[in-house]
């Protein structure tokens, strides 16, 4: 039985779905979720997609960091899988209740100016998600709520349990978490109002190593340089041998570090090596980064090509089948998520 990986990103918004069979069940995992309302079917497009894939149980759901392109309407998906989701991981730094209060205050703020027009929207979606996960984590509901940091086996959480699919975090690391905590603190004034956007939430973006038998997959989230450097320095996990990589931070310069694509780190030890980039708002990826990655991989896809238009309910994905022996192949891709030839 293979592991199916769907990496979706239509110019703004990223959703990664994993599907495998275990114990007679079609299991799913989701790493970030950017859902939009599907007027035709009167639901949310990612929810409909999980239905199409016949996923009846979410073994894990992950929100890598609190940016809108990674969590719009994620709460709707969690609500749909109420009592059918085992674990939810978020970016941490504060307890869920404190994030709920924080986003509430951020939402109320009217003095953020034009630059921060989308703050209330982002705050509302992040608030809904954390509130939903927190509610589902009550003992009678059964969801395990946890955070991802450093190199840790996140899923399964219980060290005595095993699963065909394991999820290991690759960050964020302590220094960046503290830096973000400081920014959050600075954004709260004496009255408790949140007076500005803390920004730099990428500092707490997690990235993950998914293990499936001998196969390794790197899902880079929006993790940026300082956390990748901390990972390399840690000595815990200096080398990878992935067959599939979701490139971190939409293929930006800040999402990579020197040597990342030169062998050894993401290496080119395994052939074929598939890389997928999801774009961001017409501004990412950056061409020099694409050229560098292209040289290191055997197959390279960029989703969301020619699909500008934020909020569109649009699938733009690459479907990769990964075998437990470590091979990966692209089964299909949307026409607008084709291979990159540069
Ligand atoms: Zn992003």
Rg (CA), the chain: 19
Task: For residue 190, report the distance from its CA to the centre of ligand 1, in Å.
Answer: 31
In a domain, 139, yes or no: yes
d(CA 32, CA 30): 6
Ion ligand 1 — residues with CB under 5 Å? 69, 222
Are 21 and 315 in contact by the 8 Å Cβ rule? The answer is: no
Number of domains in the chain: 1
pLDDT tens-digit map of 214-265: 999 999 999 999 999 999 999 876 578 899 999 999 999 999 999 898 866 8
pLDDT tens-digit map of 119-136: 888 899 999 999 999 999
Q: Among candidates 172, 234, 229, which has minimal Cα distance to 201?
A: 172
Domain at 230, CATH number: 3.60.15.10
Task: For residue 168, report the distance from its CA to the centre of ligand 1, in Å.
Answer: 20
- pTM of the shown model: 0.95
d(CA 289, CA 293): 6
Task: For residue 23, report the distance from its CA to the centre of ligand 1, in Å.
Answer: 34
In a domain, 40, yes or no: yes
Q: Per-residue confidence at 307, pLDDT binned at 50, 70, 90?
A: low
Are 286 and 252 in contact by the 8 Å Cβ rule? The answer is: yes
Task: For residue 249, report the distance from its CA to the centre of ligand 1, in Å.
Answer: 6
In a domain, 342, yes or no: no
Task: For residue 310, report the distance from its CA to the centre of ligand 1, in Å.
Answer: 13
Per-residue burial over 64-94, b if 16 or more Cβ lie within 10 Å, else e, is: bbbbbbbbbbbbbbbbbbeeebbbbbbbbbb
> Which CA distances in Å does 175 have to 181, 207, 253, 259, 308?
10, 16, 21, 22, 35
pLDDT tens-digit map of 134-174: 999 999 999 999 999 999 999 999 989 999 999 999 999 99
Residue-range definition of the domain harbouring residue 291: 3-337
In a domain, 54, yes or no: yes
């Amino acid at each position: 039985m293979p592991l199916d990986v769907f990496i979706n990103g239509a110019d703004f918004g990223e959703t990664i779905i994993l599907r495998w069979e275990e114990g007679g069940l079609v299991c799913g995992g989701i790493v970030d979720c950017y859902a939009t309302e599907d007027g035709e079917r009167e639901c949310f497009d990612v929810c409909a997609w999980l239905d199409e894939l016949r996923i009846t149980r979410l073994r894990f759901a992950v929100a890598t960091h609190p940016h809108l392109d990674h969590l719009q309407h994620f709460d709707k998906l969690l609500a749909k899988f109420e009592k059918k989701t085992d674990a939810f991981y978020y970016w941490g730094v504060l307890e869920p209740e404190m994030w709920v209060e924080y986003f509430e205050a951020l939402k109320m703020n009217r003095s953020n100016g034009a630059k921060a027009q989308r703050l209330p929207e982002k705050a509302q979606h992040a608030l809904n998600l954390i509130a939903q996960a927190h509610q589902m984590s009550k003992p009678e509901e059964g969801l395990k709520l946890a955070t991802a940091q450093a190199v840790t086996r996140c899923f399964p959480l219980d060290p005595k349990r095993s699963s065909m699919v394991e999820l290991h975090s690759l960050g964020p690391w302590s220094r960046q978490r503290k830096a973000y905590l400081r920014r959050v603190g600075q954004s709260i004034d004496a009255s408790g109002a949140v007076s500005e956007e803390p920004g730099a939430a990428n500092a707490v973006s997690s990235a993950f190593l998914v293990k499936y038998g001998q196969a390794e997959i790197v899902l880079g989230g929006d993790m940026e340089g300082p956390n990748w450097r901390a990972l390399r320095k840690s000595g815990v996990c200096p080398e990878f041998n992935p067959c599939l990589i979701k490139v971190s931070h939409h293929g930006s310069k800040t999402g990579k570090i020197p040597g990342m694509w030169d062998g050894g780190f993401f290496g080119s030890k395994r052939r074929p090596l598939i890389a997928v980039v999801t774009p961001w708002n017409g501004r990412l990826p950056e061409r020099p980064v694409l050229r560098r990655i292209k040289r290191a991989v055997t197959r390279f896809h960029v989703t969301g090509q020619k699909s500008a238009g934020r909020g569109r309910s649009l699938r733009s994905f690459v479907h990769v089948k990964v075998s437990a022996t470590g091979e990966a192949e692209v089964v299909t891709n949307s026409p607008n998520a084709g291979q990159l030839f540069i």
